[in-house]
């Protein structure tokens, strides 16, 4: 079993809190009245690089360069981890090579390059990003920065929960539920660990695209289950093939269960969040909001934390949604 | 001379702070690096009803119903004040009639109706909204809620500055500059008064659409000057014909001067704010950001507060910008 605890998150925040943005926790009367509940949105789309991934990448790289001299890092990612690793590498003046699928959103590929990383595009159907990453790691003596299945990454992502707790304490609010998107499961593993420590009775749920509900089904089965090879979703940030080994251990311990949403529900949610909350959210960043807006769970009269994990959507796609 | 002071703002906040959203103050590494400055965006687009106007309307209506029994209220507005008055009336269970131009954005007209107000559309070229408003006020014994030239409205809008100051104090930051959009001048009058009280050396500037730069020219002339009758801008929230009498007195005392921006500069700014800051901003809400992004003033190495005043833009228009 993993020995991951809230202390990992506490220690991560000590290292990175001056290096990442403290993002807002906001609520909106229109949405609260609509749902007869109090929804608190954690806006990690307003994090630098446009997603929570900067927390984990900053933590991992900060620890890495404190301990050993590395010639550089390598990472594979559909896009948000890519930008985060590139950005944290740029800040720390180390070289980064990032392996990204050819189909990644243009904004994510461009930003990764703009942060000074070398981008290697691969075909996600025919090639294995893990194999390409491992080869570069060995050949060039680079440290591999995994996207989620690493305790330092999980601890970094978990720091979002410390900010949520601090904001709630100021207002003397205790949340009942926590809903968070889930790809490989790093964000929800880290944040749910910290939230459970502070609020022992909180009920946490993963939210996934309906064809990528591997965490939901794995939680139900009590063992790791993969997604189908031909599964499809436009939530590009949440297409991990299966739960991570470490993240699944943590999530099995913390979560009540898993929820899932359709691409159509996510599309409507992105539009509502733009019209009412005035924020730009990417598909993967909107699934937890889609779950509350589409009655996937009873929320009436409850206080619910809803994670908005990222906002890196091509504006051309965003514009076509409505 | 008006006796308006920071105390008006302090007293307003005591009355309304539980009724309005404490909006976030955010900063973004990408934009800061681009401009070589520290920009702090106050996100009043995340206020309930999508703009700062809820602060003034809530304050005015709260004071009104504390003192006298009113049969209802009437207001004229291009849209954000309309929504705010409608919303504050709904919350306080009083009737609201709102006079809006036929050309107001659809989202603003619809929201005003959805908040339960009766909307009266008028032709802004041939009819005077003030005359229509005054007539209804007398005939139906309704209280007129002016959009800006009223000390209670100005005090309410000013409360945004109290939240800015509280956020800065937590981080031990002192701002050098303050840039704020200016239509009738209520928001900048209230906020600049409070900011000047806390930071006596802060330099505050109004920002207006280039053909609606009445406050800029009035400040330069030392007297109120109107805009040209045929002036045009897509910043629908900032089309007041001239500065208010009270707001101009206050702004003459507080402001260093005025800046102006083109619609094209505003369009580019809305896109950049969506792509980098992940927020939806309406044209009038983006002019202060447009000023810093287009070098209208020297900001290098300075700490600047930039007011984002609202986000009520039709998504159809938003989608056409890029």
Each residue of B155-177: pLDDT tens digit? Answer: 999 999 999 999 999 999 999 99
Range of the domain at B38: 6-51+151-321
B26 contacts A48? CB cut-off 8 A: no
pLDDT score, position A124: 79
The last residue of one of the domains, among A115, A144, A173, is A144
Tell me: do B41 and B121 sit in the same domain: no
pLDDT score, position B86: 96
Q: Which residue of B has its CA nearest to A18?
A: B171
ipTM of the modeled complex: 0.92
Determine, yes or no, domain membership for A1: no
Tell me: do B108 and B215 sit in the same domain: no
Tell me: do A174 and A121 sit in the same domain: no
Tell me: do A31 and A70 sit in the same domain: no
Determine, yes or no, domain membership for B109: yes
Tell me: do B306 and B241 sit in the same domain: yes
Q: Which residue of B has its CA nearest to A44?
A: B278
Each residue of A226-283: pLDDT tens digit? Answer: 999 899 999 999 999 999 999 999 999 999 999 999 999 999 999 999 999 999 999 9
Determine, yes or no, domain membership for A126: yes
Tell me: do A262 and A119 sit in the same domain: no
pLDDT (mean) for A176-190: 98
From B51, B78, B206, B309, active-site residue: B78
Determine, yes or no, domain membership for A295: yes
pLDDT (mean) for A116-138: 89
| DSSP reduced 3-state for A172 | coil
Which among B46, B276, B278 has the least Cβ separation from residue A26? B46
Q: Is the pLDDT of residue B141 over 90?
A: no
Q: Which residues of B touch A274 (CB under 8 A)?
A: 280, 315, 318
> What is the enclosing helix (H) or strand (E) of A240?
none
Whether B43 contacts chain A with CB within 8 A: yes
The last residue of one of the domains, among A80, A113, A144, is A144
| In chain B, residues 133-152 whose CB comes closer than 8 Å to chain A | none
pLDDT score, position B33: 93
Q: Which residue of B has its CA nearest to A277?
A: B46
Each residue of A45-65: pLDDT tens digit? Answer: 999 999 999 999 999 999 998
In the DSSP assignment, the letter for residue B236 is G
Q: Which residue of B has its CA nearest to A108?
A: B275
Q: Which residues of B touch A271 (CB under 8 A)?
A: 315
Tell me: do A272 and A208 sit in the same domain: yes
A218 is catalytic: no
Tell me: do B164 and B271 sit in the same domain: yes
Q: Is the pLDDT of residue A196 over 90?
A: yes
Tell me: do A19 and A59 sit in the same domain: no
Whether B26 contacts chain A with CB within 8 A: yes
B53 is catalytic: yes
Helix residue ranges per DSSP H, A17-52:
29-35
Which among A21, A279, A315 has the least Cβ separation from residue B275? A315
Average pLDDT, chain B: 95
Tell me: do A73 and A35 sit in the same domain: no
Whether A319 contacts chain B with CB within 8 A: yes
A280 contacts B274? CB cut-off 8 A: yes
Confidence band, pLDDT 50/70/90 cuts, at residue A78: confident
Domain count, chain B: 2
**Least confident segment among A77-81, A217-221, B59-63, B257-261:** A77-81
Tell me: do B35 and B171 sit in the same domain: yes
Which among A24, A30, A311 has the least Cβ separation from residue B24? A24
Confidence band, pLDDT 50/70/90 cuts, at residue B317: confident
B50 contacts A315? CB cut-off 8 A: no
pLDDT score, position B2: 84
What would the 3-class secondary structure string for chain B be? CCCCCHHHHHHHHHHHCCCCCCCCEECCHHHHHHHCCEEEEEEHHHCHHHECHHHHHHHHHHHHHHHCCCCCEEEECCCHHHHHHHHHHHHCCCCEEEEEECCCCHHHHHHHHHCCCEEEEECCCCCCHHHHHHHHHHHHCCEECCCCCCHHHHHHHHHHHHHHHHHHHHHCCCCCEEEEECCCCHHHHHHHHHHHHHCCCCEEEEEEEHHHCHHHHHHHHCCCCCCCCCCCCCCHHHCCCCCCHHHHHHHHHHEEEEEEECHHHHHHHHHHHHHHHCECCCHHHHHHHHHHHCCCCCCCCCEEEEEECECCCCHHHHHHHC
Determine, yes or no, domain membership for A263: yes
From A78, A89, A204, A233, active-site residue: A78
A322 contacts B322? CB cut-off 8 A: no
Determine, yes or no, domain membership for B259: yes
B43 contacts A315? CB cut-off 8 A: no
Q: Is the pLDDT of residue A316 over 90?
A: no
**CATH number for the domain including B219?**
3.40.50.1100
Q: Which residues of A touch B318 (CB under 8 A)?
A: 274, 319
B278 contacts A280? CB cut-off 8 A: yes
Which among A45, A320, A322 has the least Cβ separation from residue B278? A45
Say how far apart CA B58 and CA B246 lie, in whole Å: 20
pLDDT score, position A183: 96
Q: Which residues of B touch A316 (CB under 8 A)?
A: 322
Determine, yes or no, domain membership for B1: no
The last residue of one of the domains, among A104, A122, A144, is A144
pTM: 0.94
Q: Which residue of B has its CA nearest to A51?
A: B278
pLDDT score, position A67: 77
Q: Which residue of A has its CA nearest to B44?
A: A278
Report whether B190 contacts B154 (CB < 8 A).
yes
Which among B21, B24, B280 has the least Cβ separation from residue A274? B280
Question: At which residue do the structure tokens 């207001």 appear?
Answer: B75
Determine, yes or no, domain membership for B302: yes
B29 contacts A278? CB cut-off 8 A: no
Distances (CA, A) of A176 to A42, A95, B217, B302: 15, 43, 54, 42
pLDDT score, position A95: 94
Say how far apart CA A72 and CA A76 lie, in whole Å: 14
Which among B29, B45, B271 has the least Cβ separation from residue A315? B271
Tell me: do B134 and B242 sit in the same domain: no
């Amino acid at each position: 079993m993993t020995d991951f605890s809230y202390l990992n998150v506490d220690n991560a925040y000590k290292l990175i809190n001056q290096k990442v943005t403290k993002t807002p926790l906001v609520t909106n009367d229109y949405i609260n009245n609509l749902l007869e509940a109090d929804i608190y949105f954690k806006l990690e789309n307003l994090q630098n690089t446009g997603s929570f991934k900067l927390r984990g990448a900053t933590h991992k790289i900060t620890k890495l360069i404190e301990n050993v001299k590395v010639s550089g890092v390598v990472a594979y990612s559909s896009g948000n981890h890519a930008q985060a690793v590139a950005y944290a590498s740029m800040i720390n003046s180390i070289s980064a090579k990032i392996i990204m699928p050819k189909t990644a959103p243009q904004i994510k590929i461009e930003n990764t390059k703009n942060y000074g990383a070398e981008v290697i595009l691969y075909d996600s159907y025919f090639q294995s990003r893990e194999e390409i990453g491992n080869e570069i790691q060995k050949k060039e003596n680079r440290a591999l920065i995994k996207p989620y299945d690493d305790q330092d990454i999980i601890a970094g992502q978990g720091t979002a929960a410390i900010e949520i707790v601090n904001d709630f304490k100021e207002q003397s609010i205790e949340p009942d539920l926590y809903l968070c998107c889930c790809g490989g499961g790093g964000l929800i593993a880290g944040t749910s660990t910290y939230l459970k420590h502070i609020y022992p009775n909180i009920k946490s749920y993963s939210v996934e695209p309906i064809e990528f509900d591997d965490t939901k089904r794995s939680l139900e089965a009590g063992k790791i289950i993969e997604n189908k090879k031909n599964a499809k979703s436009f939530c590009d940030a949440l297409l991990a093939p299966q739960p991570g080994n470490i993240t699944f251990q943590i999530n099995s311990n913390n979560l009540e269960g898993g929820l899932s949403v359709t691409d159509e529900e996510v599309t409507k949610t992105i539009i509502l969040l733009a019209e009412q909350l005035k924020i730009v959210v990417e598909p993967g960043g909107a699934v937890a909001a889609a779950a509350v807006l589409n009655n996937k769970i009873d929320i009436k009269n409850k206080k619910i934390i809803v994670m908005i994990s990222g906002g890196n959507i091509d504006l051309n796609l965003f514009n076509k949604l409505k």
